[in-house]
Amino acid sequence: MIEIKQLAKKFAVENPKKLSEQEKKDPRLKGRFFHSVKDVSFSCNKGQVLGLLGPNGAGKTTTLRMLSTALKPDAGSVMIGGENVLENPIIARRKIGFLSGTTGLYGRLTGRENIHYFAQLHGMQAEAIENKIQELADLLDMHSFLDRRSENFSTGMKQKTAIARAVVHDPELVILDEPTTGLDIMAAQTVLDFIQGLKQKGTPVIFSTHHLDEVQELCEKVVVIDQGISKFDGDIAAFKAMADNSLNRSFMSIINQSKQGEQGEVSCG
């Protein structure tokens, strides 16, 4: 079980004068600090796929980067199997496979070489690496470009290679930040099928998305973040039930309630 409790992260604002009008109005801006994530809590069980939803700028990516230990939180805990992985980032990186919003491939290396390099970093042996690359290439339909230099890859090729690189070590938890963004229908479906395969193996997956049809297809759980706070954490049936069994209306209902709450706080102040 993965359990996230009260994560928080703020960033110093170097030059407040350069902020946009929208940023200046954001209630998370307090003095010289922007509180990107204020209080996010949720859990994900073995074999579950959790869809992380929220408007642009809600704090989703910051949350996922903290889960992956790429960012150190100011407060909160991340427990995997009862162990607080934030206290030992090295162990965390063995347990977690993380796909960030940017693929970050080494352009002069082939797809195979990119995956092989990260497998070596995880201490895998040569034969096991080659077997795993073949398996992932089958699952993600990568054989046609696996041995080409990645600087010439399309968006879909880069994304598939980055996903393979993230999961080559068979992590206990997979975190994907908008894995289908920019992909065509065929490539996106391949990625969704791959997530379904992780689910069938019992690997918990947390992924952020703006596509509610992906949530409908894959997810048992939904978490909605707005203004750096988790506003909903429940199963998909409970999420749908909030607004006439409609994912879109349920999402908008939660966001509108959040805005009304903020307006109430301002008027009371």
Per-residue pLDDT at 267: 41
Kindly indicate the confidence band of residue 261, based on its pLDDT and cuts at 50, 70 and 90: low
- Return the SS3 of 141: coil
Per-residue pLDDT at 205: 96
Give the end-to-end CA distance of the chain in Å, rounded to a whole number: 40
Predicted confidence (pLDDT) at residue 268 exceeds the cutoff of 50: no
What number is the average pLDDT over the span 16-33? 84
The number of domains in the chain is 1
What number is the average pLDDT over the span 193-222? 94
Residues 6 or more apart whose CB falls under 8 angstroms from that of 215 comprise 51, 53, 209, 222, 236, 247
Predicted confidence (pLDDT) at residue 37 exceeds the cutoff of 90: yes
pLDDT tens-digit profile of 213-242?
999 999 999 999 999 999 999 999 999 999
Task: Supply the DSSP string of 40-75, one letter for each residue.
Answer: EEEEE-TT-EEEEE--TTSSHHHHHHHHTTSS--SE
Query: Which tops the pLDDT comparison, 158 or 103?
Result: 158
pLDDT tens-digit profile of 99-153?
987 768 999 999 999 999 999 999 999 999 999 999 999 999 999 999 999 999 9
pLDDT tens-digit profile of 70-88?
899 999 999 988 888 888 8
What number is the average pLDDT over the span 251-258? 89
CATH number at residue 156: 3.40.50.300
Using alpha carbons, select from 177, 172, 245, 165 the residue that is nearest to residue 207.
Answer: 177
What is the spatial distance between Cα 226 and Cα 215, in angstroms, rounded to a whole number?
18
Per-residue pLDDT at 266: 43
- Return the SS3 of 226: strand
Per-residue pLDDT at 84: 85
Kindly indicate the confidence band of residue 181, based on its pLDDT and cuts at 50, 70 and 90: confident
Q: What percent of the chain has pLDDT over 70?
A: 95
Domain, as residue range, for 112? 2-268
pTM of the model: 0.89
